[in-house]
Structure 1
Amino acid sequence: MRPTRILPHVIAGGLWAALATGAHAALEICNDTNTLQTVAIGYKGDRDWVSEGWWNIEAGDCAVVLAGGLTRRYYYYYAESSNEDFEGQDYRFCASDEIFTIEGDTGCEERGYETLSMREIDTGERARDFTLTLVNSGGNPTGTDKIAPKIEDESAPPTAEVNEGVNDSSSGPGGPGGGAPVTETVQDTTIVPEEIPMTVSAEDLVTDIPAGNHGRAFETTALFQGCELDGGREMCSFHAGDWKMRVFYRGPTPEALMYALEELAVNMPVYLKADMVETHGNTAAIVVRAVEPRPGDDVDSRLRATLQGDWVDTSDQRWEMTVSGSEIHFRQNGDYSGSRFMRIARQCDGATGEGPFLVQINAENNRRTCYSIDRAEPGRLELTDVRRGRTTSYRKMR
């Protein structure tokens, strides 16, 4: 943890708040936590990516970190305090212990700097002035803006209708506890078209539950994600579009169907009939009425299979990612740093060409990041961030 201190270009306390109040076009960061926050930022400059720091912002105060009208939509920030850990995203910038302004976001260690994992700030399409407020949330400073409206669920899973205000418990039908023991990973993730093993009969995946008996009925195509333990809860799940739909053991879904799901392969295309019970961010709790496996229906099956497994960034081997089904899990220095949902698309916002594109979805705020898949081979992967234009090369670990 970096020691907090008043740095040469940082004005702290009420005077800074007064100066910030007078600014009409700027990027401002306010501290609504109960402790001092030490902040750094990153952004695209005229020639290259730029990072700057540090600002010490006392609890209840604000700081203007970029003066003048905003010229970009996306900025990035890092905030730390003496008693909280900061959970960054996969946006890396260079930094120093001393006051700094650094051009370039690559080769940080080689240039005598450290690498910070920052979080993204989306100021909106036409914002000239923006305030980010740091709040305590599960031990992590979290940015919430005072200007743009909170991002709500954009849509339900395809063809589903969702009741707003339906049971908002996080446990879902069946909730935690009991049920059949489920291992961390039950299914094989090596998938090729029309060669997916089928060891379960169709009758095992059909119930007599009436449509709409446990929530709003819907039907959709999906990819099976597998069965897992998550926070003490035993579940199986599906991905459809930007959504992860979870069905719990010891719930209304019959145990016989849950056991049958364990026999399906990860990434199996299915036609899903279910009832929507609740939604939270980009996840939904469902009761499954029927699952129809459709091996061979996924036109991207071979590409999806190539993406599966553990990868390491060839330019910075501290960063690794694991692709499992329709999810990506990131690690820095072996420690978990975040997860994203993913889907393969032929079109992506802000991208040109016909793809394929890898769309990463942040389940917390429904934000999407598009990557063009420039190269996908059994041992080599190259992804280019469409918006930032940065290409990252990965090597298969195993």
Structure 2
Amino acid sequence: MFWRTVIYPVALALALLLCGFVGPAWAGLEICNDTDVPQDVAIGYKQDGRWVSEGWWTLEPTACVTAIQEDLQYRFYYFHAKGKGQKFRHDRLSFCTQQALFTIGGDNDCEARGYAKTYFAKIDTGLGSKEHRQYLSTHSGPSVAETGFEPGTWGSPFSGAALFHECSQMFRGGVQFCNLIGAGRVFTVVEDNRTPAEVFKTLRRMRKGTPVQIEGDWVGLYDLSVELVLLSAQERAASDADRVLQQLQGDWRSESDRNDQFTILGGGRQNIYAGTPTSQEYLSVMQFCGEHEGHEPYLYTWDNQGGTGLCYEIKAVSKNVLELVYLPRGTELRYRRLELSQ
């Protein structure tokens, strides 16, 4: 079996450890191994209108490789990494691979052509970027088996879909915690040495509203807040509910009362009246809301201090207009996107 192995000389490796990943300027796509173990890396990219996959480069810890050695032509590229004791968080985007060194044209019918079908993660290089550096730790971390944390250690095993909301500082002791929102609940994960540090590292890199698949232990329930100890938090493909929530993002003003406004960002809503911020709420888009079902999607909102939840039927949502029906009264509420209602 043949591998492209990238190992820095001792002096350079020491410099990298002391100063980070620094060195001469590069062009194209550079991939760096900032994990603690050797990793085998493959990339996927478009060339002359056709998808191509290429690998493997073996990267020792602190090593980098310029996988594409020319100015980048596209915004999105793709990669896969594998290392002992590591779990790779892919985006369910498949390319063809094989165990030996390879350059394979086309991303379809992999198995029929004698290759393996392997899921890759997306690299967003940014609009107009000609070069980009990708670190492996963004999608690779210790597997559950390496953490020594078995399901059921801290509470009842739990898994489900959620949206990442934010990571904050508690007022007492400066303890970090992160919140995720899903199915009408806030999931709180406290940095107290039960959740692996690698999981917190993953959460802190996420943008508000990122769809996440979470696994861990359900420790306690307090009103509408659930305390979790997480085994893993992986980005997932957006669901229908996620896509509806994405349409709701932004600033809205009531057509019947111009003083009544709100802003939705991720899984949170800031209410504003006459220019003054009022209540803050969490929200979820669901297939049912309390005893209401059969007219999905529904919007469930609740005060971030644990107040009573409210149910709305999402009658219509477009680029310009949002129509809600407040339940159970059946009151119709109509909003226009703020920048379009000035």
Per the normalisation by structure 1, the TM-score is 0.45
1:270 aligns with 2:208: no
Confirm or deny: 8 A CA contact 2:220 2:226 kept in the other structure. yes
1:324 Cα offset (Å):
2.2
Cα shift at 1:283: 0.9
Q: Distance in 1 between matches of 2:143 and 2:276?
A: 38
Q: State how 1:164-179 maps to structure 2 within 5 Å.
A: none
Q: Cα offset for 1:282?
A: 0.9
Over 3 Å counting, the alpha-carbon distance change for 1:272 and 1:363 in structure 2 is same
% identical aligned pairs: 20
Between the aligned partners of 2:148 and 2:208, the Cα distance in structure 1 is 25
What's the CA shift for 1:220? 1.9
Which of 190, 205, 224 is the aligned partner of 1:282? 224
Report whether the alignment pairs 1:255 with 2:204.
Answer: no
Equivalent runs, 1:97-246 vs 2, <5 Å: 200-203=138-141, 206=144, 207-213=147-153, 215-229=154-168, 232=171, 234-246=176-188
Shift of 1:234: 3.6
* Code of the aligned partner of 1:210: E
Q: Within 1, Cα distance between the matches of 2:234 and 2:324?
A: 33
Report what 2:334 is aligned to: 393
Give the direction of change, closer, same or farther, for the CA distance of 1:334–1:204 in structure 2 (3 Å limit). Answer: farther
Gaps of 5+ in 1: 1-192
User: Which whole-Å CA distance do the structure 1 matches of 2:248 and 2:186 have between them?
Assistant: 19
Aligned to 1:336: 277
Measured in 2, the distance between the counterparts of 1:230 and 1:333 equals: 30
d(CA) in 1 for partners of 2:228 and 2:287?
28
| Alignment of 1:356 onto 2:297 | yes
Contact preservation (8 Å) 1:227, 1:234: no
Counterpart contact for 1:219–1:271, Cα < 8 Å:
no
CA distance in 2, matches of 1:205, 1:309: 37
Equivalent position to 1:315, from 251, 256, 265? 256
Alpha-carbon deviation of 1:262?
Answer: 2.3
Aligned to 2:234: 292
Contact 1:245-1:283 within 8 A present in 2 as well:
yes
CA distance in 1, matches of 2:150, 2:247: 39
* Offset at residue 269 of structure 1 (A): 3.3
Query: Partner of 1:324 in structure 2?
Result: 265
- Judging by fraction of residues, say which structure has more strand: 2
Runs of at least 5 residues in structure 2 that lack an aligned partner in the other structure: 1-90, 94-120, 125-137
Please identify, of 348-357 and 335-344, the stretch whose mean Cα deviation from structure 2 is larger.
348-357
Answer with 321-330 or 344-353: which moved more. Answer: 344-353
Root-mean-square deviation (CA), in Å? 3.1
- State whether residues 216 and 231 of structure 2, in contact with CA within 8 Å, keep that contact through their aligned partners in structure 1: yes
- Measured at CA, do residues 251 and 332 of structure 1 come closer, stay the same or move farther in structure 2, by a change above 3 Å? farther
Which stretch of structure 1 is more off in the superposition, 361-370 or 256-265?
Answer: 361-370
Q: Cα distance, 1:204 vs. partner?
A: 5.8
Letter in 2 for 1:289: L
Kindly provide the CA deviation profile for residues 198-255 of structure 1, in whole angstroms up to 9, marking residues without a partner as x: 7821436854323333x20322212222323366464322223221111134543233
Displacement of 1:380: 1.9
Bigger helix fraction: 2
- For 2:247, the equivalent position in structure 1 comes to 306
Contact 1:347–1:356 at 8 Å: present in 2 too? yes
* Paired residues of 1:202 and 1:292 also in contact (CA < 8 A): no
CA displacement at 1:272 relative to structure 2: 1.6
Q: Give the secondary structure class of the aligned counterpart of 2:240.
A: coil
Q: Aligned-pair distance for 1:260?
A: 1.4
Letter in 2 for 1:244: V
SS at match of 1:322: strand
Work out the CA distance in 2 between the residues paired with 1:356 and 1:291. Answer: 26
How many residues matched? Answer: 204
* 1:342–1:360 contact (8 Å) kept in structure 2: yes
The 3 A distance-change label for structure 1 pair 327 and 301 is: same
Query: How far does residue 385 in structure 1 lie from its aligned partner after superposition?
Result: 0.7
3-state SS of 1:378 partner? coil
| Residue-by-residue CA offset, 1:110-152 (whole Å, 9 max, x unaligned) | xxxxxxxxxxxxxxxxxxxxxxxxxxxxxxxxxxxxxxxxxxx
TM-score (norm 2): 0.51
Could you give the per-residue CA deviations for residues 188-207 of structure 1, whole angstroms, max 9, x where no partner exists? Answer: xxxxx989967821436854
Taking a change above 3 Å as real, the CA distance of residues 211 and 340 of structure 1, as seen in their structure-2 partners, is: same
Q: Are residues 392 and 291 of structure 1, via their aligned partners in 2, closer, same or farther at CA, if it must alter by over 3 Å?
A: same
Q: Aligned pair in 2 of structure 1 residues 226, 240: CA closer, same or farther (>3 Å)? A: closer
For 1:222, give the aligned amino acid. Answer: A
Q: Letter of the 2:220 partner, please give it.
A: E
CA gap of 1:348–1:278, structure 2 versus 1, over 3 A, is closer
- Aligned CA distance change for structure 1 residues 285 and 305 (closer, same or farther; 3 Å): same
Counterpart residue number, 2:312: 371
Matches within 5 A, 1:52-91: none
